[in-house]
Amino acid sequence: MDQLELLKKDWKKQESSLPKLSREALTKLIYKKSSSIVKWIFIISVLELVIPNLPYLFMDHGKTLKFSEELGLTNFFSIFYIAFYAIIIFFIFKFYKNYRSISANSNPKELMQNIIKTRKTVKYYIWFNLTMVPIIASVVFYKTFNSPDFLEKLPEDTSMFMVWSIAFVFILIMIGLVWLLYKLIYGILLNKLNKNYKELVSNGVA
C-alpha cells in the first residue's frame, strides 16, 4: 500500500481516540476570552491613528497662533490643517471599512488579504504623517532661521549650513525612530501572516 494511503487509513482510525466535549463544556468555552491577532491589530492601529495627533490637543493654541503670525504662516497653517484633517478622516474611514471586512467566514486567502489591506491603510497613514514632519519642519525652520530675532541670537561666526544640517539630522532621527518602532511591532505581529500569504498565493517552483 502506498504510504500516504496507509496514513489516510490510520488518520480515520484516530477518530475514535478524539476527545468528546459535552454541551456544557462547549457552552463555557465559547464565552472565554479570544486571543486573536485581529484584536491586537485593531488596538495598535487605533493607537497609531490617535498618537500622531495627540500633541496637537495639548498645544497652547494661543501661543501657536501668535507664533505662526510672527512667522507669517497663518494662511499656510489654516489651509494646511483643513487639508490635513480631511485626509486623516479619509484614512480613518478606510481603516474602519477594511477592519469590518475581516471575518473568519471568508476563506484563508481572503482573510489574509483583508488583514493585509487593513494594515496597509494604517501603514500609508503613518507614512503620510512621517512625510508631513519634514515638510512642516522645513517651512517652520526656514521662516525661523530667517527671522531677525533668531539671527540676532546666533553667534556671529555660525554658518547657516551647520544650522540646517543639525535641523536635518534631527528630523531624520525622529523619522528613523518611528519607523523602527513600526517595524518592531509588526515584525512580531505579522511575520507569520505575511509568510503564509506569500506561500498560499505563490505558484512558483520551490
Give φ, ψ of 134 to 5 degrees. -65, -30
Q: Which residue in 57, 60, 75, 105 binds other proteins (CB under 8 A)?
A: 105
Long-range CB pairs of 136-141 (<8 Å, 24+ gap) are 136/80, 137/167, 137/171, 139/73, 139/76, 140/71, 140/73, 141/167
Q: Does 119 bind other proteins (CB under 8 A)?
A: no
Q: Does 106 bind other proteins (CB under 8 A)?
A: yes
C-beta closer to other proteins: residue 40 or 182: 40
C-beta closer to other proteins: residue 72 or 108: 108
* Count of positions on this chain that bind other proteins (CB under 8 A): 48
User: Dihedral through CA 151, CA 152, CA 155, CA 161, nearest 10?
Assistant: 0
- Among 21-29, 46-54, 125-133, 154-162, the segment contacting other proteins (CB under 8 A): 21-29
Evaluate whether 167 touches 150 at the Cβ level (below 8 Å): no
Evaluate whether 94 touches 121 at the Cβ level (below 8 Å): yes
**Taking the complex as a whole, how short is the minimal distance between the CB of residue 154 and other proteins, in angstroms?**
54
Q: What is the distance between the alpha carbons of residues 147 and 144, in angstroms, rounded to a whole number?
A: 5
Q: Does 43 bind other proteins (CB under 8 A)?
A: no
Grid cell in block for residue 53: 495627533
C-beta closer to other proteins: residue 106 or 165: 106
C-beta closer to other proteins: residue 38 or 130: 38
Q: Which residue in 107, 149, 153, 162 binds other proteins (CB under 8 A)?
A: 107
- Among 54-62, 70-78, 107-115, 138-146, the segment contacting other proteins (CB under 8 A): 107-115
C-beta closer to other proteins: residue 3 or 159: 3
C-beta closer to other proteins: residue 71 or 116: 116
**Complete DSSP assignment for 170-202:** HHHHHHHHHHHHHHHHHHHHHHHHHHHHHHHH-
Q: Does 15 bind other proteins (CB under 8 A)?
A: yes
37-50 helix and 108-145 helix, angle to the nearest 10 degrees: 20
Binding site for other proteins (CB under 8 A): 3-4, 6-8, 10-11, 13-15, 17-23, 26-27, 29-30, 32, 34-38, 40, 103-112, 115, 192-193, 195-196, 199-201, 203, 206
